[in-house]
């Protein structure tokens, strides 16, 4: 894992090394310039103000101007190069992560929620990219440190040593003071963030709250959470303020010490007044590169943690292996399961004839899911085989396989965008099949009820549609894809009975001559099938026609008509 | 569907709201700022003390003369540190209190908004305000406010200190101001629209990723990976491009500020030069002035770079205040509801004027009766459910619940009389028992368990990692759709209203889950007057009465058996459902 994390970080930096190098060089120039400003103030005081020489005043102000021009230009282009490197590195990671998550072999989502993966692709990718801003800053801080150290030692060795040896312990002390506070404030800030999380959650569940008249209870609960958060935030803010105050006091004392040593050296004539001014300015300046190091450390730690999360996703083992066997051409659609053991399935044998419309009744939802995952090759069954026209699915490339067998899951996603774009996702299969699919799924009616018809833009997860409308559009999409083998899972659970009966007829007509498997307990759909297989206790217990089963099998009747 | 966003407060209203929040905290606020002023003033003594040391050295005083200013320097440091800590803590305290008060007002108001109003605005509007705007304002209060207060005070007091050294130093320093003012104006004009555009772009990128990643299984099924990678690439590229444009702008902004720094610093140094030559100031004073100005670099950069944060925070604040100060729906003196009868007369409704979806619907449900509403999509079932539950006001006609007209009942009495459970499930983030207590705040543990037991959810609830204390919902233990809907029914049992409306509450769970939920719903509805929008006809078959809607009108009404016998629309539906007619064709002839 360490190696993977290293690769992620290495690629993020290496891929942008030109920008990073440029940024480091320019940032170093900027820091050096910032360090020179107090030195030059000292020089102006010393050689112009103290002597009254106009020529020197003009000369040194010109030098100061040149330094300002240089530091400003380096900052401008350095910061741009660093941000460019950071943003594009983050972008590359985002795209790579997306590609990995969508890989036909799957596996990246195992154990991760969609929100978490999205955060990895946004926040973590950005933080790893951000290392490209941190690195030039670190190099620049080092440069600033070296330049001011050299300047201080050049002014006076003892004074330089006081500053150089005094600054690190000072910062270390500040860090020590800050550590317990930081820990505490992190915990408390988390609790503070909780208040806004609770508010968002209550608003998200507003309809549910209103449905049971629980607004008052919710408001009371929110007030409590908000007050708890307030107490936590105020505690965190106090800790932070105490820490900042302590640092300020320590810095002031440090300056006093530098002034004491510098003043004595100047009083004894070992350094000039201007040197003293410059030394005080440098002592103040020195604290910023040192503080920068602390920031660099924290950012790198975050970058490493993010890189680790990214590496874990990129290196997630695929759920199924690839395969090279060619698809049968043309696909006749003969699907055969023999002795399949998979989760709750224990020895399923099922032969689906080409062109058949088969209903599968599985009272145990887990068994239905297992059957679908074997057909979709989301996972390979540990025992037994599933074949398509005699070719085992496990020897096919998952992407090829899904062109032949389309498994339309019950919980499916409609994407943001126009309704029609959802139904004709890839290649326009010609208007004919799409229009027929829309009609068969009664999605044409859904479209007619929308403001812009089939061109109406659906929001996130098409939540503007009712559950039944979503199912009808999703079914139209599956039918429009027109695959040789189509597997539907509970396609009409949220559709009213009138429409469901029409859909059942539509599916039958649209899929005539091509293999279709409908996993459902809906009598309206089952009545339209050629045969029904009942999957119970892990095996196929009975196969027959719906009407016969309803008439003769009390268990079946109970399962579908209860 | 014309969207009508929730109101945004004007600048004046926002100020009034902020003043309202400040009221009662004036002393605290004043005290906090006084302490910060004292802290900053103490800090400003550092530069003249250093100048004094320079003077003492330049005048050839012995090293022992330096002791007093050095001791004073140490003292100043300690006092400044202490006072700053106190001042910042006080400012943060006041700011956080006001923020908490505001967000509480906002949530209290938002949760009591009529659903109709929220739906008109689009549900995204309210949730964007409660997430993005609250956190933007909080961030501003937490980070920007103390920084701005300290920087602002440092700048003002440093300028005062420069004037105290010699008024001509102040004039010299002010030479930088025109450049800074121009730069800020120049920047703000460009930055505000650019950042707004960038935020939209970041939101779109996030949305695209959620869409793509959340639908990864579907993307694989339909082999859409390439297209989705392209979409993500496109959104991400747009965001990166905009971010880099913002970076360019920002670097130009700071570049111009560098120019202002140089102008001011040179002017102060030249002034020092002239004053020292004219014996109007000592070298020490000139040093102090130059150090003062150099120390202004940081606070000025901080203050000016907060300009756009401040603009964004002000916009967010206006959007919060806009909702928080909406007038509350008046609570009418509730007439006493007696029994659980539902009577609707001549109900008509149109979401859009001129497009009625209901015509003259009459409905009479006896207390304790269970009525199923059946019909095709778009027949108006959900609208009837919403009107009876008081979510929408009918365009024409009246609804009486327990003998009282719905619009005379007032919002909280309506909530206590009728409950609406839809297929939209939400599990509130937090402990399971707290979720349930939203429905009955004082419920004992036994009452909660009894409610769960009644809807058949106690077994799985007890089996959760921490039982009823398990954290569920967003970020917690994920419940299945069936479990979440059982929870909704358990809430109904706890809220215990005499009337319940179920709108396809069992629809989304898949066929196996639907049966579990139907049993749960039957248990939860026992003893209540119930109106059930049914799409599985088994729900209709077990109801006391069935009402068939078509095109927004009631076309049939009666018991299941009567309607089946009547051989009308319902009978046709039922036949399609329970069909034993041979209507299927053998596979051989399907070709």
Query: What is the per-residue pLDDT across A235-252, written as a single tens digit (0 to 9) for each?
Result: 888 888 888 888 889 888
How many CB atoms lie under 10 A from the CB of residue B244? 17
Q: H helices within B325-426, ranges in order?
A: 381-388, 411-417
For helices B283-305 and B167-174, angle between their N-to-C axes, nearest 10 degrees = 40
CA B498 and chain centroid, separation: 33
Contacts of A494 by beta carbon, 8 Å cutoff, 6+ apart: A466, A467, A468, A470, A471, B423, B504, B507, B508, B535
> Which of these, B325, B326, B311, lies nearest to B17 by C-alpha position?
B325
Identify the band that residue A96 occupies on the pLDDT scale cut at 50, 70 and 90. Answer: very high
| CB-CB neighbours of A328 under 10 Å | 16
Distance (Å, whole) CA B125 – CA B119? 9
- Token pair listed for A449: 């009820």
Q: How confident is the model at residue B580 (pLDDT cuts 50, 70, 90)?
A: very low
Assign A486 a pLDDT band (cuts: 50, 70, 90): very high
Rounded-to-integer distance, Cα A303 and Cα A409, Å: 38
In this predicted structure, what is the pLDDT of residue B63?
Answer: 86
| Tokens standing for residue A337 | 């399961």
Q: Name the least confident of A488-502, B260-274, B319-333.
A: B319-333
Give the model's pLDDT for residue B332: 67
Which residues in chain B are contacts of A204 at CB distance < 8 A? 127, 426
The confidence band for B508, taking pLDDT boundaries of 50, 70 and 90, is low
Write down the ipTM of this complex: 0.85
Whether B268 shows a pLDDT value over 70: the answer reads yes
Which residues are registered as beta bridge partners of A383? A341
The burial of B95, by beta-carbon neighbours within 10 Å (0-12 exposed, 13-18 middle, 19 or more buried), is given as: buried
Structural element, H or E, at residue B321? helix B307-324
Query: pLDDT tens digits for A412-428?
Result: 888 888 888 888 865 55
**pLDDT (0 to 100) of residue B590:** 34
Give Cβ neighbours of residue A533 (< 8 Å, ≥ 6 apart).
A350, A358, A359, A360, A361, A540, A542, A543
B 320-359 near A (Cβ less than 8 A): none
Contact B371, B532 (CB under 8 A): yes
Cβ pair B286:A546 closer than 8 A: no
Residue pair B482/B516 in contact by the 8 Å Cβ criterion: yes
Q: Which residues pair with A340 in a beta bridge?
A: A348
B547 near A CB under 8 A: no
Distances A474 to A327, B447, B484 between C-alpha atoms, Å: 26, 41, 23
Q: CA of B146: which chain A residue's CA is closest?
A: A241
pLDDT at B479: 83
pLDDT, residue B134, reads 81
Nearest residue in B to A516, CA atom: B587
Task: For residue A116, give both structure tokens.
Answer: 């978490």
Provide the sign of the torsion angle of the four alpha carbons A479, A484, A488, A492, taken in this order.
positive
Q: What is the mean pLDDT of residues B559-578?
A: 84
| pLDDT greater than 90 at residue A145 | no
Min Cα separation B541/chain A (Å):
10
The structure tokens listed for A404 are 């032949």
Q: Do domains A1-144+298-319 and A335-561 have the same CATH topology?
A: no
The DSSP 8-state label assigned to residue A394 in this structure reads: G
pLDDT of residue B198: 84
Residues of A in contact with B210 (CB under 8 A): 114-115, 118, 460
Confidence of residue A374 (pLDDT cuts 50, 70, 90): very high
Q: Is the pLDDT of residue A498 over 80?
A: no
pLDDT tens digits, residue range A537-548?
889 999 999 989
Which of 3.40.50.300, 3.40.190.10, 3.30.479.30, 3.40.1080.10 is the CATH number of A335-561?
3.40.50.300
Contact: B96, A469; criterion CB under 8 Å = no
Q: A413 and B111 in contact by Cβ < 8 A?
A: no
Cα separation, B579 vs A545, whole angstroms: 12
- 3-state secondary structure at position B383: helix
Cβ contact A397:A386 at 8 Å: no
Whether residue B512 contacts residue A522, with contact meaning beta carbons closer than 8 Å, is answered with no
pLDDT of B86 reads 94
CATH T-level topology, domain B1-165+309-330: ABC transporter transmembrane region fold (1.20.1560)
pLDDT exceeds cutoff 70 at B583: no
Nearest of B304, B137, B95, B103 to residue A241 by alpha carbon = B95
Is the alpha carbon torsion for B481, B483, B484, B489 positive or negative?
A: positive
- B529, B500 contact by CB (below 8 A): yes
Taking the CA of residue B452 and the nearest CA in chain A, the distance in Å comes to 16
CA distance A522 to B166: 92
Q: Mean pLDDT for chain B?
A: 86
Beta carbons of A527 and B583 less than 8 angstroms apart: yes
Structural element, H or E, at residue A552: helix A546-552
Q: Which fold has domain A1-144+298-319?
A: ABC transporter transmembrane region fold (1.20.1560)
d(CA B582, CA A339): 32
Give the C-alpha separation, B326 to B106, whole Å: 9
φ/ψ of A340, rounded to 5, equals -80, 120
Kindly state the tokens that stand for B17.
């709201």
Question: Which residue ranges make up each domain of chain B?
Answer: 1-165+309-330, 167-280, 342-579
Beta carbons of B432 and B470 less than 8 angstroms apart = yes
B520: tokens are 């749960």
CB-based contact A468 B214, cutoff 8 Å? no
Q: Where are the domains of chain A?
A: 1-144+298-319, 335-561
pLDDT per residue over B143-201, tens digit each? 788 888 889 989 999 999 999 999 999 999 999 999 999 998 998 888 878 888 887 88
Q: Say how many CA atoms lie within 13 Å of B208 toward its Cβ.
A: 24
Residue B80 and residue B68: Cα distance in Å, rounded?
Answer: 18
> Cα separation of B326 and B121, whole Å?
14
Q: What span, in angstroms and rounded, lies between the C-alpha atoms of A69 and B256?
A: 10
B285 C-beta neighbours (distance < 10 Å), count: 22
Please give the Cα distance from B500 to A330 (Å, whole number).
Answer: 56
pLDDT digits (tens, 9 = 90+) for B411-427: 778 888 999 998 777 88
User: B75 CB near a chain A CB, below 8 Å?
Assistant: no
Tens-digit pLDDT profile for residues A154-212: 888 988 888 888 878 887 887 787 677 666 666 666 666 677 778 878 888 888 888 88
Contact A526, A361 (CB under 8 A): yes
pLDDT score of B82 more than 90 = yes
CA angle A228, A184, A203 (to 5 degrees): 35
Largest CA distance in chain A: 117
Residue B277 CA to residue B274 CA, distance in Å, equals 5
pLDDT digits (tens, 9 = 90+) for B201-250: 888 888 888 888 888 989 999 999 999 999 999 999 999 999 999 999 99
Do residue B84 and residue A244 have CB atoms under 8 angstroms apart?
A: yes
Q: Quick check: B3 pLDDT over 60?
A: no
Q: Tell me if chain A has a CB within 8 Å of the CB of B23.
A: no
Q: HSE on the CB side for B110, CA within 13 Å?
A: 34
Nearest-CB residue to A45 (from B124, B247, B290) = B290
Please give the helix or strand (H or E) that residue B451 lies within, else none.
Answer: helix B445-454
Nearest to A137 by CA among A73, A77, A78: A78
* Cis-peptide, bond into residue A330, ω within 30° of zero: yes
Identify which of B104, B87, B90 has the alpha carbon closest to the alpha carbon of residue B21: B104
| Spatial CA neighbour of B103 closest among B324, B315, B328 | B324
Q: How far is CA B56 from CA A52, A139, A280, B372, in A?
A: 19, 40, 16, 98
Residue from the list A103, A213, A527 with its beta carbon closest to the beta carbon of B584: A527
Name residues whose C-beta falls within 8 Å of residue B135's C-beta, 6 or more positions apart in sequence. A196
Give the length of chain A. 562
Backbone dihedral angles phi then psi of residue A107, each to the nearest 5 degrees: 100, -25
Output the pLDDT for position B574.
Answer: 80
Give me the residue label for tokens 């046709």: B572
Q: Give the other-Cβ count within 10 Å of A146's Cβ.
A: 15
Quote the pLDDT of residue B591: 32
How far apart CA B348 and CA B342 sit, in angstroms, is 16
Of B508, B425, B427, whose CA–CA distance to B475 is shortest? B427
Question: What pLDDT score was predicted for residue B2?
Answer: 41
- In angstroms, the CA B265 to CA B534 distance is 79
Residues of B in Cβ contact (< 8 Å) with A406: 221-222
Determine if the pTM surpasses 0.95. Answer: no
For residue A390, give how far its alpha carbon lies from the nearest alpha carbon of chain B (Å): 20
CATH number belonging to domain B342-579: 3.40.50.300
> Are residues A536 and A366 in contact, defined by beta-carbon separation less than 8 angstroms?
no
Contacts of A425 in chain B (CB under 8 A): 222, 224, 227
First-to-last C-alpha distance (Å) of chain B? 45
Sheet with B404-405, side-by-side order of all strands: B355-365, B342-352, B396-401, B404-405
Nearest to A467 by CA among A501, A441, A492, A484: A492
What pLDDT does residue B581 have? 37
In tens, the pLDDT along B511-539 reads 567 778 888 999 999 999 999 988 777 78
Question: Cβ–Cβ of B492/A118 closer than 8 Å?
Answer: no
Q: How many Å is the Cα radius of gyration of chain A?
A: 35
3-state secondary structure of A184: helix
Task: Give the helix/strand (H/E) hosting A350.
Answer: strand A345-352
Q: What band does A467 get if pLDDT is binned at 50, 70 and 90?
A: confident
Distance, CA of A61 to CA of A44 (rounded, Å): 8
């Amino acid at each position: 894992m360490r190696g993977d994390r290293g690769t992620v970080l290495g690629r993020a930096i290496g891929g942008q090394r030109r920008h990073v190098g440029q940024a480091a060089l320019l940032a170093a120039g900027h820091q050096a310039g910032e360090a020179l400003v107090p030195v030059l103030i000292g020089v102006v005081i010393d050689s112009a103000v103290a002597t009254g020489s106009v020529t020197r005043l003009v000369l040194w102000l010109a030098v100061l101007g040149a330094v300002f021009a240089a530091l400003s230009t380096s900052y401008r282009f350095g910061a741009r190069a660093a941000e460019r490197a950071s943003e594009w590195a983050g972008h590359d990671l985002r795209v790579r992560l997306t590609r990995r998550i969508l890989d036909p072999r799957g596996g990246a989502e195992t154990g991760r929620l969609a929100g978490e993966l999205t955060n990895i692709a946004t926040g973590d990718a950005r933080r790893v990219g951000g290392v490209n801003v941190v690195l030039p800053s670190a190099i620049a801080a080092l440069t600033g440190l070296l330049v001011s150290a050299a300047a201080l030692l050049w002014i006076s060795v003892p004074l330089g040593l006081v500053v150089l040896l005094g600054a690190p312990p000072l910062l270390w002390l500040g860090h020590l003071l800050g550590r317990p506070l930081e820990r505490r404030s992190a915990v408390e800030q988390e609790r503070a963030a909780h208040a806004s999380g609770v508010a968002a959650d209550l608003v998200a569940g507003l309809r549910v709250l209103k449905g049971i008249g629980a607004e008052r209870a919710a408001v009371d609960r929110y007030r409590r959470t908000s007050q708890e958060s307030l107490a936590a935030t105020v505690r965190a803010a106090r800790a932070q303020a105490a820490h900042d105050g302590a640092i300020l006091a320590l810095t002031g004392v440090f300056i006093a010490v530098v002034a004491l040593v510098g003043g004595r050296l100047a009083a004894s004539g070992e350094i000039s007044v201007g040197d003293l001014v410059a030394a005080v300015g440098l002592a103040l300046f020195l604290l910023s590169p040192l503080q920068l190091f602390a920031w660099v450390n924290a950012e790198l730690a975050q970058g490493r943690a993010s890189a680790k999360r990214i590496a874990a996703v990129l290196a997630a083992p695929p759920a199924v292996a690839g395969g090279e066997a060619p698809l049968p051409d043309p696909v006749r659609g003969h699907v055969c399961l023999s002795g399949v053991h998979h989760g709750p399935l224990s020895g399923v044998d099922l032969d689906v004839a080409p062109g058949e419309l088969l209903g599968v009744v599985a009272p145990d939802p887990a068994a239905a899911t297992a059957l679908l995952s074997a057909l979709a090759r989301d996972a390979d069954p540990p025992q037994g085989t599933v074949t398509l026209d005699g070719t085992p699915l496990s020897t096919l490339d998952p992407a090829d396989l899904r062109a032949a067998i389309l498994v339309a899951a019950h919980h499916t996603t409609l994407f943001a965008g126009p309704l029609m774009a959802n139904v004709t996702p890839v290649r326009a299969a010609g208007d004919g099949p799409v229009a027929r699919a829309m009609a068969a799924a009664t999605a044409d009616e859904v479209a007619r009820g929308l403001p812009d018809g089939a061109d109406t833009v659906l929001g996130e997860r098409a939540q503007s549609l009712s559950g039944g409308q979503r199912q009808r559009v999703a079914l139209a999409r599956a039918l429009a894809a027109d695959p040789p083998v189509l597997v539907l899972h509970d396609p009409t659970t949220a559709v009213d009975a009138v429409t469901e009966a029409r859909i059942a007829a539509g599916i039958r007509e649209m899929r005539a001559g091509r293999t279709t498997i409908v996993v459902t307990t809906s009598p309206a759909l089952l009545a339209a099938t050629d045969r029904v297989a009942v999957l119970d206790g892990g095996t196929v217990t009975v196969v027959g026609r719906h009407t016969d089963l309803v008439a003769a099998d009390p268990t079946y009747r109970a399962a579908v008509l209860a | 569907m014309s969207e009508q966003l929730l109101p945004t407060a004007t600048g004046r209203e926002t100020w009034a709201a902020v003043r309202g929040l400040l009221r009662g905290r004036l002393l605290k606020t004043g005290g906090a700022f006084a302490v910060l002023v004292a802290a900053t003033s103490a800090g400003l003594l550092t530069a003249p003390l250093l100048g004094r040391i320079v003077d003492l050295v330049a005048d050839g005083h012995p090293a022992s003369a330096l002791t007093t200013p050095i001791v004073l320097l140490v003292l100043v440091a300690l006092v400044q540190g202490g006072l700053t800590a106190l001042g910042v803590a006080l400012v943060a305290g006041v700011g956080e209190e006001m923020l908490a008060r505001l967000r509480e007002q906002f949530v209290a108001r938002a949760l009591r908004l009529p659903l109709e109003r929220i739906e008109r605005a689009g549900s995204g509007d309210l949730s964007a305000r409660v997430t993005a705007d609250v956190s933007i304002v909080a961030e501003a209060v937490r980070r920007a406010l103390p920084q701005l207060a300290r920087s602002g005070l440092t700048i003002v007091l440093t300028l005062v200190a420069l004037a105290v050294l010699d008024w001509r130093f102040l004039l010299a320093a002010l030479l930088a101001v025109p450049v800074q003012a121009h730069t800020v104006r120049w920047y703000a004009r460009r930055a505000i629209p650019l950042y707004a555009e960038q935020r939209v772009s970041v939101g779109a990128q996030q949305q695209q990723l959620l869409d793509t990643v959340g639908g990864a299984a579907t993307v694989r099924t339909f082999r859409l990976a390439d297209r989705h990678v392209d979409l993500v690439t496109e959104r991400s590229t747009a965001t990166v491009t905009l971010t880099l444009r913002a970076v360019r702008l920002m670097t130009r902004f700071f570049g111009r500020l560098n120019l202002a720094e140089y102008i001011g610093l040179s002017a102060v140094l030249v002034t020092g030069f002239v004053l020292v030559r004219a014996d109007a100031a000592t070298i020490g004073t000139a040093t102090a002035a130059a150090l003062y100005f150099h120390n202004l670099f940081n606070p000025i950069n901080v203050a000016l770079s907060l300009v756009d944060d401040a603009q964004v925070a002000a916009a967010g604040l206006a959007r919060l205040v806009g909702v928080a100060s909406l007038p509350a729906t008046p609570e009418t003196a509730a007439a006493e509801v007696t029994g659980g009868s539902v009577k609707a007369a001549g109900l008509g409704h149109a979401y859009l004027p001129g497009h009625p979806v209901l015509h003259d619907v009459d409905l009479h449900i006896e207390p304790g009766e269970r009525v199923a509403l059946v019909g095709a999509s778009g027949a108006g079932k959900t609208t009837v459910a919403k009107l009876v539950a008081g979510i929408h006001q009918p365009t024409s006609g009246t609804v009486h619940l327990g003998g009282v007209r719905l619009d005379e009942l007032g919002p909280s009495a309506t909530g206590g009389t009728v409950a609406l459970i839809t297929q939209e499930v939400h599990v509130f983030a937090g402990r399971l028992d707290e979720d349930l207590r939203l429905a009955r705040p004082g419920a004992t543990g036994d009452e909660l368990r009894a409610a769960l037991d009644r809807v058949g959810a106690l077994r799985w609830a007890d089996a959760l990692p921490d039982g009823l204390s398990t954290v569920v919902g967003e970020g917690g233990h994920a419940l299945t759709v069936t479990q979440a809907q059982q929870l909704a029914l358990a809430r109904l049992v706890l809220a215990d209203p005499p009337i319940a409306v179920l709108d396809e509450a069992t629809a989304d769970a898949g066929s196996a889950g639907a049966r579990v939920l139907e049993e749960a719903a039957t248990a939860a509805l026992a003893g209540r007057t119930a109106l059930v929008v049914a799409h599985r006809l088994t729900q209709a078959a077990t109801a006391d009465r069935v009402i068939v809607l078509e095109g927004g009108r009631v076309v049939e009404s009666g018991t299941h058996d009567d309607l089946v016998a009547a051989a009308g629309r319902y009978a046709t539906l039922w036949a399609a459902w329970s069909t034993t007619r041979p209507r299927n064709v053998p596979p051989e002839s399907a070709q």
